[in-house]
Structure 1
Amino acid sequence: MAYASRADIETLWGADFLSDLLPEDVDADAAIATALRFASSEIDAHLSARYELPLATSPEILISPAANIAVYIAANQHASLTTTIEERYKQAVELMKRIAEGKAGLGAAEPAISIDGASSDSGAAFFAEPRAWGRGRP
């Protein structure tokens, strides 16, 4: 599943950005489609630590990271790779790491967790023994 599209890249980076980024002798449509596919695969590698893939829906939180990773992948020429592209890529990867570690989430696509002892959508369950120590207890 692609988490972003060419239109998303153009919205985030500007309409003429891709034509400036890619060499003239490259098929822009094929290069962008490949970069978006690779970006989605990189995101899936992070998400697979915490989520069952493929995701049922494509969360909006993944659009910007997918677009930024795809731009980084597409900037295959040394002259095309700018510090802005590299910094946005690093920020996208850092977000994916935080999501994989459970320090951030996907928003509405987050697994629901129940506190009544029932399993969550992800299969996790939480149980505790009755308290053995406490105030007013013998």
Structure 2
Amino acid sequence: MAYAGKTDIETIWGADFLADLLPEDVDPADAVATALAFASAEIDAHLSARYELPLADLPQILIAPAVNIAVYLLANRHASLTTTIEERYRQAVDLLKRIAEGKAGLGRSEPAIVIDGAASESGAAFFSEARLFGRRQP
């Protein structure tokens, strides 16, 4: 599942940004599609720690990280990589790490663990083995 598209990049970074970023010998449509696919795969790697993939719907919170990761991948040439692009990439990865750790969410119901019909909304569950030793009753 692609979490963003070319129009999202143009909306966030500006319409002329991609033309300035990419060299003339690169097909912009292919380069952008590949970068967005890699960005979505990176997002999935983080989300798979907490969510069942593919997600049923596209959370709006994932559009900006997908765009910023894709732009970082496109700009990963010495002349095009700026501190702003690199900082936005780091912020996107930090957000994804927080989501994977359960410190941030996707803006919707978070996964619940269901045990014997009871759900844990926090995602926490405790398990133990059967008792090995017990007290003897007189």
Give the match for residue 83 of structure 1: 83
Q: Aligned pair in 2 of structure 1 residues 53, 44: CA closer, same or farther (>3 Å)?
A: same
Report the Cα distance in structure 2 between the residues aligned to 1:78 and 1:38, rounded to whole angstroms: 20
Q: Which runs of 5+ in 1 are unaligned?
A: 128-138
SS in 2 for 1:100: helix
SS in 2 for 1:107: coil
Output the amino acid matched with 1:23.
P
Report the Cα distance in structure 2 between the residues aligned to 1:5 and 1:120, rounded to whole angstroms: 35
TM-score, normalised on structure 2? Answer: 0.82
Deviation at 1:12, TM superposition (A): 0.3
Deviations 1:9-30 (A, max 9, x none): 0000000000000011000000
Give the match for residue 30 of structure 2: 30
Deviation at 1:113, TM superposition (A): 7.2
Give the match for residue 47 of structure 1: 47
Deviations 1:42-98 (A, max 9, x none): 000000000011101110000000000000011132101000000000000000000
Report the Cα distance in structure 2 between the residues aligned to 1:3 and 1:32, rounded to whole angstroms: 13
Give the match for residue 64 of structure 1: 64
Give the match for residue 21 of structure 1: 21
Report the Cα distance in structure 1 between the residues aligned to 2:120 and 2:21, rounded to whole angstroms: 44
SS in 1 for 2:119: coil
Report the Cα distance in structure 2 between the residues aligned to 1:111 and 1:49, rounded to whole angstroms: 11
Output the amino acid matched with 1:66.
A
Aligned CA-pair RMSD: 2.3
TM-score, normalised on structure 1? Answer: 0.82
Residue 8 in structure 1 maps to residue 8 in structure 2: yes
Residue 98 in structure 1 maps to residue 98 in structure 2: yes
Greater strand fraction, Structure 1 or Structure 2: 2
Report the Cα distance in structure 2 between the residues aligned to 1:109 and 1:60, rounded to whole angstroms: 14
Percent pairwise identity: 78
Asked whether the 8 Å contact 2:50–2:111 carries over to 1, the reply is no
